[in-house]
């Protein structure tokens, strides 16, 4: 008896390749909404959302806070758990000055997207406990390290009931120079969520200049 397969092997591998490609880009693009609902932009909002990842940093975060205070702007800091553990007073200052604190995993491991659901969940819960302990606030928002989402991360996040936050404007403040970043920020519109990092000296300078020139904040 012969079994006929409707597709030739070549077609099978071709379709499998396309499928793998879709999964790959769905994981890498945080706004793909492929595995979980991700907030990447606010429609009909008359403001711009500033977010700072990878702190709290001993040197940079206090400088960022000073600039935000000067311009009377509130933002969200997606903090790494182990850094919050090292610099609890800075995390406390973020919350006390009226900014929101988000979860950005405990380790920010390079291999975070290879972790199983249980390991991801442990990272999220440990960081949320630290945030609660230090600031007294429940953490409601999460931004995955490197902006990667996958089924394991999605399952863990759903258990914590946190909202995942992406961005639609990436300042590239860790890799580009000041002039290039300011050029990228020229396209900012109301409703945009901008990704910055409170780990680099140049971000402090850029922020002051950006907030001075951006009229909607005043």
- Please list the active-site residues: 53, 197
Q: Are strands 169-170 and 49-53 parallel, antiparallel or unpaired?
A: unpaired
The stretch among 54-62, 168-176, 182-190, 206-214 that binds Zn ion (CB under 5 A) is: 54-62
Is residue 53 close enough to count as binding Zn ion by CB under 5 A?
yes
Comparison of 78 and 189: residue with beta carbon closer to Zn ion: 78
- For CA atoms 180, 146, 205, 194, the dihedral sign is positive
Helix (H, G, I), strand (E, B) or coil at 164: strand
Is residue 57 close enough to count as binding Zn ion by CB under 5 A?
no
Q: Which of 96, 88, 87 is nearest to 65 (CA)?
A: 96
Comparison of 47 and 165: residue with beta carbon closer to Zn ion: 165
What backbone phi and psi angles, to 5 degrees, belong to 165? -115, 125
Is residue 198 close enough to count as binding Zn ion by CB under 5 A?
no
Is residue 54 close enough to count as binding Zn ion by CB under 5 A?
yes
Q: Least CB distance from residue 108 to Zn ion, whole Å? A: 6
Reported as type and span, the H/E element at residue 166 is none
Give the CA dihedral 47, 53, 58, 64, nearest 10 degrees: -20
**Percent helix, strand and coil across the chain, each to the nearest 5:** 50, 15, 35
Size of the site for Zn ion (CB under 5 A): 3
Q: Least CB distance from residue 145 to Zn ion, whole Å? A: 5
Is residue 192 close enough to count as binding Zn ion by CB under 5 A?
no
Q: Least CB distance from residue 54 to Zn ion, whole Å? A: 5
Show contacts with Zn ion in window 130-189 (CB under 5 A): 145
| Residues engaged in binding Zn ion (CB under 5 A) | 53-54, 145
């Amino acid at each position: 008896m012969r079994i006929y397969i409707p597709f030739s092997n070549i077609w099978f591998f071709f379709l499998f390749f396309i499928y793998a490609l879709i999964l790959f880009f769905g994981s890498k693009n945080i706004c793909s909404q492929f595995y979980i609902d991700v907030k990447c932009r606010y429609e009909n909002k008359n403001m711009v959302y500033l977010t700072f990842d990878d702190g709290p940093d001993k040197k940079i975060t206090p400088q960022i806070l000073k600039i935000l205070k000067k311009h009377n702007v509130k933002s969200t800091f997606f903090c790494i758990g182990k850094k919050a553990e090292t610099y609890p007073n800075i995390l406390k200052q973020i919350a006390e000055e009226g900014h929101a604190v988000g979860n950005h995993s405990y380790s920010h491991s390079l291999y975070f997207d290879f972790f199983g659901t249980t390991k991801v969940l442990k990272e999220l819960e440990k960081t949320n406990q630290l945030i609660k302990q230090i600031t007294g606030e429940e953490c409601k928002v999460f931004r995955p390290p490197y902006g990667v989402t996958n089924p394991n991360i999605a399952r863990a996040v759903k258990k914590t009931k946190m909202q995942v936050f992406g961005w639609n404007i990436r300042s590239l403040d860790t890799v580009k120079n000041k002039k290039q970043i300011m050029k990228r920020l020229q396209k900012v519109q109301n409703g945009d969520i901008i990704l910055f990092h409170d780990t680099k000296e140049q971000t402090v300078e850029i922020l002051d200049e950006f907030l001075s020139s951006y009229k909607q904040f005043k």
